[in-house]
Amino acid sequence: MGEPPTGGGWPALPVHTGPVGRHLLVWACLAILPHVRRYHTEHDVPDDVSWTTLSALGAEMATSRQITGRSGLDATWGLPRVFRGVTYRLGRLAFDRQGPRPDPADHPILRPGQSALNTHVPAGGRPLDPAACDESFASALESFPKLFPERVLAFCCHSWLMDDQLAAYLPESSNILQFQRRFEVFTDREQADWAPLEHLFHRRYQGKTVPSELLDELPQKTTLQRAVVSHLRSGGHWYNRTGWILLQRRNKGARSLAGGAGVAGIREP
């Protein structure tokens, strides 16, 4: 409990395992639940934060059904971290502990012993409102030093929402662009056309180029949906990038976590 997993997520079980296989990870989470709740209580995690965090199980089951058309759970990266007491939902955003790096000699940001918080944007109907994000970041800076001993020196976010190509399609006032502009250093770039397809359209495709037949099936109701499809149709690709908010630099007068709006009371923990 409390230690980030050393491996990846949980893979989906083979189709031939049927409903039992589809629900095995659900039962595993429910079996672990009392232990996570005990860990949360021992670390003074408020009940509302605890239950909101653990509700990720239901959210992932709903997403899995949308993607596959079946009940149960598909492959999941996030739930092992939630049910190890590593990830916490704090308002609009969720954060998880990376843990101090023992020897990140080749790391572009962190030195040995330093730590960052991974930032996640949970799916849901709530907009990515700047004020709500301000509250989440402030809550993370207040809460995590009480949970874990290491000193957090940065936030990071690995997501297709960090792709700077979105600026060519979305208005300046877009919540996504305002969220993206909070991050000032970007350290990697990997093709990930699958990411908007899965997270925005609940469709799965792992090939290098999304076929036009699939693009023709996708809804075009929002500016973001039209942007994703238009870009792919023109032969472009979308990329996962890792953005970093460097807290030390923030405290020396760089723009605030709000992307320019200012956040009172945020200081390096």
Percent with pLDDT over 70 in the chain? 89
Q: What is the span of the domain harbouring residue 172?
A: 88-104+114-192+238-261
200 or 105, which is more confident? 200
CA distance 53 to 86: 10
Higher pLDDT, 244 or 5: 244
Whether residue 75 is found in the same domain as residue 168: no
pLDDT for 35 equals: 97
* Per-residue pLDDT, 102: 62
In a domain, 147, yes or no: yes
Residues 98 and 78 occupy one common structural domain: no
123 and 249 co-located in one domain: yes
**Within this chain, do residues 246 and 142 fall inside the same structural domain, yes or no?**
yes
Is the same domain home to 72 and 23? yes
* Better-predicted residue by pLDDT, 149 or 238: 238
Instruction: Assess whether pLDDT exceeds 90 at residue 159.
Output: yes
Phi-psi region of 42 (alpha: psi -120 to 50; beta: other; left: phi over 0): alpha
pLDDT of residue 256: 41
Let me know whether 15 and 78 are in one domain: yes
Mean pLDDT of 224-253: 87
More confident residue, 102 or 186: 186
The answer to whether residues 245 and 137 belong to one domain is yes
Judge whether 227 lies within some domain.
no
pLDDT at 41 over 80: yes
d(CA 3, CA 98): 9
C-alpha 143/C-alpha 265 separation (Å) is: 14
Task: Verify that 32 and 148 share a domain, yes or no.
Answer: no
Q: Which residue has the higher pLDDT, 148 or 139?
A: 139
Report the number of distinct structural domains present in the chain: 2
pLDDT at 45: 94
- My answer on whether 142 and 161 are in the same domain is yes
**Mean of the pLDDT values across residues 162-189?**
95
Same domain, 122 and 55: no
The stretch 24-30 carries a mean pLDDT of 95
Query: In this structure, are residues 160 and 239 in contact, taking their beta carbons and an 8 Å threshold?
Result: yes
Task: Tell me the C-alpha distance between 181 and 134, whole Å.
Answer: 13
Tell me which of 38 and 252 has the higher pLDDT: 38
Q: Is the pTM of this model over 0.75?
A: yes
- Are 246 and 152 members of one domain? yes
123/242 same-domain check: yes
> Where is pLDDT greater, at 257 or 1?
1
We report the CATH number of the domain holding residue 128 as: 3.40.630.120
